[in-house]
Amino acid sequence: MDRASLFAAIQKKQSYLCVGLDTDIQKIPSHLLKEKDPVFAFNKAIIDATAEYAVAYKPNLAFYEAMGLAGWESLQKTLDYIPKDIFTIADAKRGDIGNTSGLYARAFFEAMNFDSVTVAPYMGEDSVKPFLAFEGKWVILLGLTSNAGSEDFQSLKMASGLRLYEQVLETSQLWGTPDNMMYVIGATKAQQFGEIRKRIPDHFLLVPGVGAQGGDLRSVSQYGMNPQCGLLVNSSRGIIYASSGADFAQKAGEEARKIQQEMAEYLHLFL
């Protein structure tokens, strides 16, 4: 999916919500455990309930890899079930020497046909470029992450006066374009959004950390939006585990709708 189509979907749905499919077999309602593939049964119900309000889905690979071969099968079935007009993100946080990155890219873009994959930038340009070689696909590079540990390295000031994540944004934007690269910026870093937008005005930002991690959707929207919206805001646990009972899908849908309605207001105010 290209940038114009993504923006068109955002305008049509009045939403920049990404639903995180972080499906933990230990947290799904017990009545699903008798299904042949409980993880897929859960995801299918969540997708049915939220597709109207979401412009992206982001399965986090850890939740599937932890289940071995069965997990990979659940992931593939989930990806195939997501409506084709919705952007898909393989949250895999990959990156290796170029030769190996090329194979990671093939895994997510060819074998599995995701629209995008999250990539760690710290092995440098030759570790990221192989992902960018795939026409029509996207790299979502870790910029400033939402967790407390982002202070350990990403926020350190370097001799140049820039913080490490600022240098990542400066240097890496020369590797791709706003049409094939996005950045992860955590919702918990709302104070930094204004300054980050000056550095990368055009790129889409994938913003995890609202909901369970406490990030503020209003501040993210106010300081992070650009003329093409430029935001995909993710919530995983806050939506998919809104209820642990038989009404889990209905409650997930209600939660997604609540966020979508807030987003519609911010699109009106800040776009």
Ligand X SMILES: O=C(O)c1cc(=O)[nH]c(=O)n1[C@@H]1O[C@H](COP(=O)(O)O)[C@@H](O)[C@H]1O
CB-nearer residue toward ligand X: 22 or 115: 22
Burial of residue 196 (number of CB atoms within 10 Å: 0-12, 13-18, 19+): buried
Contact between 59 and ligand X (CB under 6 A)?
no
The span from the CA of 144 to the CA of 169, in Å, is 9
Angle formed by the axes of helices 125-132 and 98-105, nearest 10°: 30
Judged by CB under 6 A, the residue of 16, 20, 56, 137 near ligand X is 20
The nearest distance, CB 142 to ligand X, in angstroms, is: 6
The span from the CA of 140 to the CA of 184, in Å, is 6
CA distances to 5, 130, 133, 148 from 138, in Å: 13, 11, 10, 27
- Taking CB under 6 A as the binding criterion, the range among 43-51, 69-77, 129-137, 208-216 that sits at the site for ligand X is 208-216
Judged by CB under 6 A, the residue of 41, 54, 184, 242 near ligand X is 184
Q: How many CA atoms lie within 13 A of 3 on its CB side?
A: 17
CB-nearer residue toward ligand X: 221 or 234: 234
The nearest distance, CB 238 to ligand X, in angstroms, is: 6
Judged by CB under 6 A, the residue of 193, 234, 248, 249 near ligand X is 234
Is 58 labeled as catalytic in the residue annotation?
no
Contact between 212 and ligand X (CB under 6 A)?
yes
Query: For the range 100-104, what are the long-range contacts, defined as Cβ-Cβ under 8 Å and sequence gap of 24 or more?
Result: 101/126, 101/127, 101/128, 101/129, 101/130, 101/131, 102/130, 102/133, 104/130, 104/131
| Helix or strand run (H / E) with residue 218 | helix 217-224
The span from the CA of 252 to the CA of 254, in Å, is 5
Place of tokens 């889905």: 57
Handedness of CA 109, 146, 191, 261 (dihedral sign): positive
The nearest distance, CB 31 to ligand X, in angstroms, is: 23
The nearest distance, CB 170 to ligand X, in angstroms, is: 19
Q: Which two tokens stand for residue 111?
A: 């074998």
Contact between 224 and ligand X (CB under 6 A)?
no
The nearest distance, CB 89 to ligand X, in angstroms, is: 8
Site string for ligand X, 81-120 (x = CB under 6 A): ----------x--------------------------x--
CB-nearer residue toward ligand X: 60 or 192: 60
Please list every residue from 117 through 136 that binds ligand X, using CB under 6 A. 118
CB-nearer residue toward ligand X: 64 or 266: 64
Judged by CB under 6 A, the residue of 43, 116, 145, 228 near ligand X is 145
Active-site positions read 93
Which residues of the shown chain bind ligand X in the complex (CB under 6 A)?
Answer: 20, 22, 60, 91, 118, 145-147, 184, 186, 208-209, 211-213, 234-238
